Each structure stands twice: as structure tokens, then as C-alpha cells.
Amino acid sequence: MPMPSPQKFDISQSIGAGATFDALTGFIYETPDVPTMVEIFERATAVGLVGVHTSAGETIKQESPVQAGGTAGTLPARLTTEPITGRGPAYQKLRSFYRNPTGGAITLDYSIIVTPLGGGGGAGRQVSFARRGGARRRSRARR
């Protein structure tokens, strides 16, 4: 299915003690069909959750702590959360994988925005007939 415009996927998930979680399971554009720009906003309700993000096997963010704070079920805001950004090649999997090494459950609040590069499959990028060289102006010969 071609990606017509930016796609957003939001989740709020409790991750149990010692558990792991793949945040993009079920996201229709986990494997985009066009090159994309990826923005990830993540926040945990407590200290200790770690996450790693990859695209086509390339690391966007190596395993490191997730920002803690906020209320469970409230999505991170662009104003208070620095996005994790990267590119996603066409037909390659995006991965957001989390691990909770602590002794208690932690809630992850997460948003991903996947934006097609190059105009979303050509929509809105029509070149006029004149610019393609189909209609040329004829200049008047000077006398």
C-alpha cells in the first residue's frame, strides 16, 4: 500500500519487570514502501527502561535510557521531548525495541511519525507541460 502522507502511530504500553517489547508490531508501515523520514517520541513513567531503534539494520539510536517522567497514557509532546530522527529506506523494516531490566513494571508512551520523502509517491509533484519541453516559445525573428 503506497504511503500517501505522513503516518503516525501512538502507543501506551506497560512493560513488566524483565520483559521486552517491540513497539512497531502491528504498525502498517513497519516496512515502508517508499524512502521515509522517521521521528520517534518516547517517554517512560519511571527510570530504568532502555530502548534501541534501527532502520534497515542501521542503528538510529543505540540502546540507552528512555526519558522518564509524565503520566502513563499521556503521549510525549514535541515541546518537551526531543525527537529521535532517522531515515527509513524503502522495503526495509523499522524497529523500536525496549527492555525493562528493573524490578517493576514501567509504562512506555510512544509516538512515531513516518513521512515519505520525495512527495509521497509523486503526489503533488506534477511538472507543467511547458517545463518538460513540450511547448516551446517561438521567438520572432528580428528584421
pLDDT in tens, 44-56: 999 999 999 999 9
Q: Sheet of 20-22: strands edge to edge?
A: 20-22, 94-99, 50-55, 58-65
Q: Who has greater pLDDT, 44 or 126? A: 44
Q: Do residues 112 and 8 lie in contact, with contact meaning Cβ atoms separated by under 8 Å?
A: yes
Position 140 scores a pLDDT of 56
Core vs surface per residue 60-93: b (16+ CB within 10 A) or e: bbeeeebbeebebeebbeeeebeebebebbeebe
- The answer to the question of residue 131 being in a domain is no
pLDDT in tens, 16-39: 999 999 999 989 999 999 999 999
- The answer to the question of residue 79 being in a domain is yes
- The answer to the question of residue 107 being in a domain is yes
How many separate domains does the chain show? 1
Cα distances (angstroms) measured from residue 122 to each of 27, 29, 69, 117 = 23, 18, 41, 10
pLDDT in tens, 36-92: 999 999 999 999 999 999 999 899 999 999 999 988 999 998 898 999 999 999 999
Structural domain of 106:
7-116
- The answer to the question of residue 134 being in a domain is no
- The answer to the question of residue 108 being in a domain is yes
- The answer to the question of residue 70 being in a domain is yes
- The answer to the question of residue 100 being in a domain is yes
Inform me whether the pLDDT recorded for 120 exceeds 50.
no
Question: What is the CATH number for 26?
Answer: 2.60.120.680
Position 109 scores a pLDDT of 97
- The answer to the question of residue 140 being in a domain is no
For the chain, what is the total number of helices (H) and then of strands (E)?
0, 8
As a dihedral over the C-alpha atoms of residue 23, residue 25, residue 28, residue 30, rounded to 10 degrees, the angle is 70
Mean pLDDT of 87-107: 96
Give the residue carrying C-alpha cell 497514557.
73
Q: Who has greater pLDDT, 120 or 39? A: 39
Following DSSP, what letter does each residue of 59-95 receive, concatenated?
EEEEEEEPPB-S-TTPPPPTTTSPPEEEEE-TT--EE
